[in-house]
Structure 1
Amino acid sequence: MIPAKDILHGHDARWLMNCAGDAMLVVGADGGILLANPAAVRLFGYSLAEFSGLLVEDLIPPRFRDSHGEKRADFAHHPEFRRMGSGLELYCLRKDGGEFATDVSISPFEDGHVLVTVYDISDRKQLEEEQKRMIHELEAVNEELRNFAYVVSHDLKAPLRAIGSLADWIAADQQERLDADGQEHLRLLIQRVRRMDALIDGVLRYSRIGRVHEAVSAIDLNELARDVIDSLAPPPDIVVSVAPDLPTVRAEKTCIYQVLQNLLSNAIRYLDKPAGRIDIACVELADCWQLSVADNGPGIAPRHFERIFQLFQTLHPRDRVESTGVGLSIVKKIVEQSGGRVWLESELGQGSTFYFSVPKISLNL
């Protein structure tokens, strides 16, 4: 082995190499290892004396050696600093035959000598593989859930339609034969069939969010708000006002329509005042539009602020206020997948204001 003082001139250079935490090797033009640092001894399992009889190919698994010889010859003709491993699967071989994943950097210095730094990335590689496995499993679970939603909806819709049709027939043709209790039971049956139908539709809409996209387009929110109000047809005792200066945003129209529709329908459903009021407004911020839907309804206690956005959660008995508990979950999922956020402010007895943000630069909403 060529003496270290002749390979790396200067005490500081040799001291830095010996103190380095990563394995470092000095390799000659013929591929022979001329010098190794203590980190290389720990990583590869060879002693300093044993390194002197090795070629750099001896540290590479046999299946990679032929191609490595060609790469070493190419480097000899075009010596320059290179970082190997980006986008490649590189492995080194220990004395005991064990392999480990690695990144390698090579730096030429003089007389055809090359400084090779070897980075053991086994832990990082294992973490990446674990992440890939978890992502694959998550995708498989999500696909199963999507298929489950469709299968369940199909299997439930058919008997539900039959029950609904039968209940409607009884209500139309047999109602006179029913006493007051029978008529009330029939009313509850029809109401719950319709609720189940709406619940199934809500679950399907929730499962589609993020999977089915439409083209992003410019949307006049003033026009969209009017369309939503017309579709909901609020009762005469509820006045819905829309600020005249709502912006035009770029988003998926169906998604932002669903957000406004769910927030407005919730406000209409729960209003408990003789004169109901709902106000739609917008504030421009630096990076987003902040829209709000405010009402003068019963209000919501702060302890329920998180709960109401969870799937199937409602604050009132379903026989008193008809609700599936899906609408606000859909709002939250749509808004957050767009890079926005949704929240509320409320005071019991005074009403609630729901806010949601629409990023000014948005690929989807």
Structure 2
Amino acid sequence: MREEYCRQIIESLPYAIIITDQQGRIEEINAQTALLFGYSQQELHDKKIDILIPERFCEQHHKDLDSQNDCPPPRQAELGRNLFGLTKEGDEFPVRINLSLLENNGNNKILTTIIDMSEQSDIVRELKRVKKELNDFVDVASHDLKAPLRGIRQLSSWIEEDITDFASDNTKNNLALMMQRTARLERYLKDLIIYSRISHVLDDAQNINIKALVLSVFDLQSPPKEVSIVCEETLPEITTFITPLETVFSHLINNAIKHKNKGQLTINVSSQEYPTHYSFSVKDNGPGILERNHEYVFDLFKTIKPRDEVEGSGMGLSIIRKLLDSLNCVISVSSDGKNGSCFTFTWPKR
């Protein structure tokens, strides 16, 4: 009864199950094996399992079998992923293979599990194709849009110089608004390109003094006199990828400066160290973010204030989240909407 129950389970599995002796001779297969490879149970019985593997992989498979026989229990191994199965018709298809040793009073068997990876491989190829098309589109769009935007900005500047002595205040305001909107489009384009290429920003790891990095990023923002920054002594010196970390700090500090109230703004940067990662916090005493907007602020093109009040593409925090997601890190915000805000993100140790 127990044996029949196990047989029913094996027959119901959606992947190929093959039981061989320790020399690799096939003793039993399930229905999915016959369907996948095109052989019947009778055709495969007592045949070497090599019949189901392209010749170029047979030598390695023999080594894997020997390894299973020699290693101590528990004896399981998942073989390399760039493997292929061979059908009766001679067609190859990508597979994932797992070997397990079944011990039975010296009459040991090898249980081979074979999963058809054709669909997954097709999906991966399609994703690569789409990704390439998107990258190509971004390259073309950035090239074809940057030039006319620069031209509009330059023409606007020349017109401003030509009409400054006689144009009405209304005309000057409209021209200034056009230049402002052109500059915003340039920022949109720049941030869209950054967002689309998040997965490519990893560079060589370097030894970085976080305090020096933060102060450098702060200076590059050309902050007004009423804005200051405080770096806590907890900021470490670490070995990591400088470009993505610099990008995160740059957007968080810029975000604090853009949304500041009138009066003094203080930005505080601190950190904590954990066994597997660091936690960095960028805190300010600005206007804060209402709790209902805490998740909203990370969405693409979302801004709390109208863009004519606070210039920006609405992509800074989205860029940060996508970048941190690519590194399996997280970011969160805490604020009561009145007394500043604090963005905290994790960063991996090497």
State TM-score, norm by structure 2.
0.75
With over 3 angstroms needed to count, the CA separation of the structure-2 counterparts of 1:18 and 1:116, relative to structure 1, is farther
CA distance in 2, matches of 1:92, 1:199: 52
- Quote the residue 2:122 is aligned against: 133
CA distance in 2, matches of 1:244, 1:60: 63
1:287 aligns with 2:273: no
1:238 alignment partner AA: V
Alignment of 1:113-132 (within 5 A): 121=114, 124-125=115-116, 128-132=117-121
Q: 2:310 aligns with which of 306, 321, 328?
A: 321
Which of structures 1 and 2 has the bigger CA Rg?
1
In structure 2, runs of 5+ residues without a counterpart are: 12-17, 71-75, 89-94
1:310 aligns with 2:299: yes
Q: Is the 8 A contact 1:209 1:334 kept in 2?
A: yes
SS at match of 1:204: helix
CA distance in 2, matches of 1:57, 1:233: 78
Paired residues, what number? 316
CA distance in 2, matches of 1:347, 1:308: 14
CA distance in 1, matches of 2:281, 2:260: 17
CA distance in 2, matches of 1:41, 1:205: 50
- Quote the residue 1:231 is aligned against: 220
Q: Is the 8 A contact 1:32 1:54 kept in 2?
A: no
With over 3 angstroms needed to count, the CA separation of the structure-2 counterparts of 1:32 and 1:162, relative to structure 1, is closer
1:263 aligns with 2:263: no
SS at match of 1:319: coil
The alpha carbon displacement at 1:165 in A equals 0.9
1:172 aligns with 2:161: yes
The alpha carbon displacement at 1:257 in A equals 1.2
Alignment of 1:235-246 (within 5 A): 235-246=224-235
The alpha carbon displacement at 1:336 in A equals 2.6
Percent identity at matched positions? 28
- Quote the residue 1:344 is aligned against: 333
With over 3 angstroms needed to count, the CA separation of the structure-2 counterparts of 1:210 and 1:104, relative to structure 1, is closer
1:202 alignment partner AA: D
1:20 aligns with 2:6: yes
Q: Is the 8 A contact 1:195 1:322 kept in 2?
A: yes
CA distance in 1, matches of 2:216, 2:224: 16
1:184 alignment partner AA: N
CA distance in 2, matches of 1:84, 1:186: 69
Q: Is the 8 A contact 1:267 1:297 kept in 2?
A: yes
CA distance in 2, matches of 1:150, 1:223: 33
CA distance in 1, matches of 2:269, 2:54: 70
- Quote the residue 2:200 is aligned against: 211
CA distance in 1, matches of 2:102, 2:272: 56
- Quote the residue 2:172 is aligned against: 183
CA distance in 2, matches of 1:296, 1:41: 67
1:253 alignment partner AA: I
Q: Is the 8 A contact 1:301 1:347 kept in 2?
A: yes
Q: Is the 8 A contact 2:201 2:243 kept in 1?
A: no
CA distance in 2, matches of 1:155, 1:325: 22
